[in-house]
Amino acid sequence: MTKSYFVTGTDTEVGKTVASMAIMQAVAKAGYSVVGYKPVAAGSKETEDGPMNSDAIRLRECTTVDVDYEEVNPSLLHAACSPHIAAELENTTVDFAQLSRGLKNIQTKADFTLVEGAGGWRVPVSYDSTLADWVGQEKLPVILVVGIKLGCLNHAYLTAEAVRRDGLEIVGWVANRVNPGTEHYSDIVKTLEHHLGAPKLGEIPYMPAIKSRDLSGYIDISPLGLSPV
């Protein structure tokens, strides 16, 4: 069994990495091997092993097999901005062939591969292409992360519409409470459940130091065709 999914969000900073970690932790707890893949990352920090992206580091930490950082994140851009701007600043390009080779390699490592995007669905990686173009090329089923806040309904509807218009399936979505003060939280989630037309995989509450926690209990992986081994 080899399953691969692409995680996108309604915007940047809506919790794609948090949701990806939660899904990977739930898959691992169910007894499957799992690997994370961050094909394009914009924004790096210096580590003792060289520059790395913090989100890719988190995905690697949740990976249950031995992989090098470069296998998790083949295209690292150092400026924390839109990938197409970062690539231009660094006089480089995001190479879809490189991303595809990396995906095929990492898919051989585990039962389950979770691919995390950058920014929202239409994030540009050049002036003429978006990361969604590559996802469509790879025909990856999509998991949508909705950061629950004022305005997220519009963003969620538009993102779901764009994904489906691109010919891809939304296999599930995750509600991530990015703002504890958001009013009408339960009504917003109820509205999304009614309109998104895909199973809700879970709701992740707002909490401090969330990226250092075990979030597996907030995710139901059964809609992804997985049950405990």
Read off the tokens for 12: 């940047």
Is 15 labelled a binding residue? yes
Question: Under a CB-based contact definition with an 8 Å cutoff, are residues 8 and 168 in contact?
Answer: no
Is 14 labelled a binding residue? yes
Is 35 labelled a binding residue? no
Q: How far apart are CA 141 and CA 53, in angstroms?
A: 24
Is 17 labelled a binding residue? yes
Nearest Cα residue to 119 out of 21, 8, 22: 8
Q: How far apart are CA 72 and CA 131, in angstroms?
A: 16
Is 53 labelled a binding residue? no
Is 101 labelled a binding residue? no
Task: Answer yes or no: 38 catalytic.
Answer: yes
From 3, 38, 109, 149, active-site residue: 38
DSSP assignment of 131-162:
HHHHHHHHT--EEEEEE-STTHHHHHHHHHHH
Q: How far apart are CA 144 and CA 18, in angstroms?
A: 12
Is 18 labelled a binding residue? yes
Is 67 labelled a binding residue? no
Mark the binding-site residues for Mg(2+), compressed into ranges.
17, 55, 116
Active site (catalytic) residues: 38
Mark the binding-site residues for ATP, compressed into ranges.
13-18, 55, 116-119, 176-177
Mark the binding-site residues, compressed into ranges.
13-18, 55, 116-119, 176-177
